Structure 1
């Protein structure tokens, strides 16, 4: 069996925690872990680490790698990159090609598809449903998983269960997000389920359905090598697996599930699934709430105090704060459209960025200087480069740095610092056996990436994923 985790989506609905280049699957919305980590924790109870594949994009690769490395290096090795975003059907087709060609998969092997950003509890019960689905998969069905509704939800798609097949039901039809009146009707009838976006099937069955309903995708993945599929990936239609196959095929089954599930598509849905205090509040982080009721207050770093508020959503981050009325979570999209039109980077970039050598966190930025904290992995180094319009000052907090400035090596120890003048080629390396922590101060006329000349490239691993 193989698991394919879809981790390339660029969702900003949980702004300001989620950004275009830091989507919600990487946010630590759960105690001390992200939704992607939680996904892997579930799957590793059912699949071998080497059988878990992740498909993402170039911008997210190092976010994903920083998490998969915690579990097993084979999971990092089996991380695939979409050359361009083309929705879930082409992504799944690319992953199937990889399984068949690169890891000698069997066409009759069972494959499961999982979103990377859903909340599912309890894990043990979920695993039971995965086991149960094998009956439908081995009967030749593309199997979906439906959540038993707990309320008339208008924000989810629905699956109508048809003929009872014993351990599963044949799918009669899929329904897009319904009106409140329809959602109430579905809840009463009892044979409608929320679409969880999880699938299971044999590779051969999915390929047959691609051939029948998506000939363009089928031709691309069967007439060439994996490398050729990557090279021609831009020719794929942009379409979801639901529209491409599930809603067209007559070979789709559904496994009803009764557990806690949410796609966390808004702060309202996040509030609904979290445990409340006696005042109906969800308080996360350093929060003091006085006469506050039925509210979500999320503190990232700073102390947040509230007095006399009700039905509010407050989310604090390093560089932005959201304050909204509960029930207006979907309106975040309108705010983001305004910010996009204004060219605000706060909807695109987060203050933490992962790179091949480790990560950096933006501490402060204005027109004259930038202060960053760099964490460089053991044995890693930044690229050799120079800046014509700015200087850099490195202060070592922890570890031992090897600074190569204009072909001269300097070793910098904890509490020491070194200055890099304008126009001098330089490279920073971790010379110790533990992560190297650096405070970097940039100052000068130009502080953007326009002022950089690179002499070496250390992203061979990333480039190999795109070949």
Structure 2
């Protein structure tokens, strides 16, 4: 657990932080997936991007004033990761029942803030950005809070260093203070020629996606600009806000509110910033060898230059590559020119249209009780390796369409089949007939590993009926 610092006096006690930790894991495919987006990955260093964000925010905010918004698919991993930084934050995680873009996620966080003080300030931070110089970042928050008190909606702009087509831009207006400007508009991911003109003219900043505002001012704009969302917000006292989530607009805060109001200010960021939005960014920020290559994992590079080579699967052998991206996982490989990395999103869209599972998850999937890895699958069968953490237990469940056979590899398994308990140790096995109620737990102090062989006409994860679950996953 890290030692948290006292927040800066300039906005201590009047500002809350909302960290957005959703995301679909498209731009850094195949390393990031829907079930494991980039903010939950370690992309250099020892901490995930989410953990880096939480550590930075704790330098400026008390844990009780930090809210982390994610979705049901990621909530257990998010809680686990932030608890490793500060255990007080584990109870500050809010889960959307399904992803509805940034504006509804912010509203979910603002419900908690408004319940404390609707006159408070709120700062919104993405969890998947790389920021260096935390002191400069905190200083900018102080400046932003001063503008927000004056009823301005404040965003943070990054002075561009190159013509970037993958970022949104902020059009600068009248200067209202040192390094602070009114905003004349927004430009979403321009063509290269337009980005080059922005760089020459010095009239635009990159949009960092971070905001600071007075809660009641923001809510007033939501009521004006998004009446459907406002109706959902106003009904929160009658029922939980997560109810009706499927029916609210899937809309970003930029498009839904920010681009529609006129009292916006932008502060020139005094810190280094990158949203790690492409493999080119990973290459640019990575540690390079004598040939200009960034290499991670089990890679053999021969006569390669200025390339990003990553392997999280088997041996990756690359010969004669120049200005290329090659990323290999156990089940997928991406290869493309460095200049064409924005096409990765198109690749993911194509895979989605084909119904590919490669956009959803890795072969190893993290669960609150441990993880499972798909070793092999084919028509009517699937083989998994399941690891259960010490003291953890899966839900009591049954399957309509499959039977299972479990073999203990190491550790001790507590198994219950149709309410009949038994203990299994290494090399012992048990059959789980179709439609039988069963449960698996690890009563020991070391991880439990089993091999699970599934057989049946339908083997997907949605063929689970839960009767009891210590993680609250039983549907009411």
Does the CA contact (< 8 Å) of 1:145 and 1:254 recur in 2?
Answer: yes
Partner of 2:146: 135
SS at match of 1:107: coil
Q: Tell me if structure 2 keeps the 8 A contact 1:389–1:445.
A: yes
Is the 2:166–2:342 contact (alpha carbons within 8 Å) kept by the matching residues of 1?
Answer: no
Equivalent positions of 1:64-463 (< 5 A) are: 64-101=78-115, 105-167=116-178, 168-225=180-237, 227-367=239-379, 369-386=381-398, 389-398=402-411, 400-413=412-425, 415-423=426-434, 424-432=436-444, 434-446=445-457, 448-449=459-460, 454=465, 456-458=467-469, 461-462=472-473
Query: Against the structure 1 CA distance between its residues 158 and 60, is the aligned structure 2 distance closer, same or farther, given a 3 Å change threshold?
Result: same
Q: Is the 8 A contact 1:385 1:452 kept in 2?
A: no
What's the offset of the Cα at 1:416?
Answer: 4.2
Q: 1:244 to 1:444 in 2, by over 3 A?
A: closer
Say if 2:417 and 2:432, in contact at 8 Å, map to a contact too. Answer: no
The question of 1:33 aligning with 2:33 is answered: no
Residue pair 2:407, 2:429 contacting (<8 A) in 1 also: yes
Query: How many residues align structurally?
Result: 459
Whole-Å Cα distance in 2 between the matches of residues 462 and 382 of structure 1?
A: 11
Gaps of 5+ in 2: 1-14
TM-score between the two structures when normalised by the length of structure 2: 0.88
CA distance in 1, matches of 2:414, 2:118: 50
Pairwise mapping of residues 38-77 of structure 1 onto structure 2 (< 5 A)? Answer: 38-77=52-91
More displaced stretch, 300-309 vs 453-462: 453-462
What are the Cα deviations for residues 184-234 of structure 1, in whole angstroms up to 9, with x where unaligned?
A: 222223242100000011212211222332233233313441734322333
**Structure 1 50/252 Cα, relative in aligned 2: closer, same or farther at 3 Å?**
same
Tell me if the contact between 2:370 and 2:389 (Cα under 8 Å) persists in the aligned partners: yes
Equivalent-residue separation in structure 2 for 1:435 and 1:4 (angstroms): 36
Structure 2 CA distance, aligned partners of 1:358 and 1:16? 22
Name the stretch that deviates more: 441-450 or 265-274. Answer: 441-450
Rounded to whole Å, the distance in 2 between the matches of 1:380 and 1:307 is: 46
Higher alpha-carbon deviation: 86-95 or 366-375: 366-375
Contact 2:121 2:215 in 1 (8 A): yes
- Per the TM alignment, residue 53 of structure 1 is displaced from its structure 2 partner at its CA by 1.1
Q: Is the 8 A contact 1:276 1:282 kept in 2?
A: yes
Name stretches of at least 5 consecutive residues in structure 1 with no aligned partner: none
Residue matched to 1:5: 19
Classify 1:44/1:95 alpha carbon distance in 2 versus 1 (closer, same or farther; 3 Å): same
Query: Secondary structure of the residue that 1:286 maps to in structure 2?
Result: strand
C-alpha spacing 1:305/1:259, structure 2 compared with 1 (3 Å): farther
Contact 1:401 1:436 (8 Å CA) reproduced: no
Change (3 A) 1:420 1:72: farther
- The C-alpha deviation readout for 1:377-428, integer Å capped at 9, x for no partner, is 3432112234564332231424x32122343332234x34322242454321
Give the superposed CA RMSD.
2.6
- Rounded to whole Å, the distance in 2 between the matches of 1:127 and 1:287 is 39
Q: Is the Cα contact below 8 Å between 1:145 and 1:195 reproduced in 2?
A: yes
Task: Please report how far the alpha carbon of residue 320 of structure 1 lies from its aligned counterpart in structure 2 after TM superposition.
Answer: 0.7
